[in-house]
Amino acid sequence: MSGDQTTKKKSSLLVRILIVLFGLGVVGVLVLVGAAIVMIPAMTRMKNKSIATEARLTLMQMESAITVNYISNCAFPAPIPEQGAVPSGDAKAPLATPEVEQRWRDLNISLNNSQRFVYSLNKKDDRTYILRARRDFEEGGPVHTAEITLNGDPDGCDVDASEVVVTNELQ
């Protein structure tokens, strides 16, 4: 075998190896893109569920604090408005005004600047208040709302609280 034939066989083998590696690379990239297309929406849903769970837990802590306050004073505190516009997308909730922040603090509830929901305590009637958390997961879409209804019994200085009720979940 002459030197030219050996060189041609080696270069032919190298070209074949490069073609196989390139083919595997393209397939690999396509597999990764396909996995990303499937995984990104699933991961977004999981992130949103964890954010919604955070709001439920915060509402339950608020409900406990308001119940303790009601048992001590035999009355609900004054209504507390939302601290600003409902956040959407990846935005955080706006910081509460000093007055709103103080009203929550008076109930031993501290809202920090990493809140993802806006919270409020709304008076429905003399015996019923609504504790509410709101967020817009999809900008311009329906607002995800979680609520606990608090019914006060002024005779027994006790509160009956509902379970957390969610509307427009993760929307």
The domain ranges of the chain are 3-167
Q: Collect all residues with Cβ–Cβ distance below 8 Å to 59 and sequence separation of at least 6.
A: 119, 131, 133, 146, 147, 148, 164
Range with the largest mean pLDDT of 13-22, 62-71, 113-122: 62-71
Position with higher pLDDT, 166 vs 11: 166
Q: At 29, phi and psi to the nearest 5?
A: -65, -45
Q: Is the pLDDT of residue 84 over 90?
A: no
Q: How confident is the model over 135-156, as a mean pLDDT? A: 90
User: What is the length of the chain?
Assistant: 171
Residue 83 has pLDDT above 90, yes or no: no
The whole-number pLDDT of residue 9 equals 65
- pLDDT-derived band at 4 (thresholds 50, 70, 90) equals low
What is the reported pLDDT for 158?
A: 92
Write out the two tokens for 60.
């339950």
For residue 73, name the pLDDT band (cuts at 50, 70, 90).
very high
Cα-based distances in Å from 122 to 20, 131, 133, 135, 159: 67, 6, 11, 17, 15
Residue 96, Cβ neighbours under 10 Å: how many? 23
The first and second tokens of residue 128, run together, are: 């019923």
Average pLDDT, the chain: 85
Predicted local confidence at residue 71, as pLDDT: 93
The pTM of the full predicted model, rounded to 2 decimals, is 0.75
Answer for the pair 106, 84: CB distance below 8 angstroms, yes or no: no
More confident residue, 162 or 22: 162
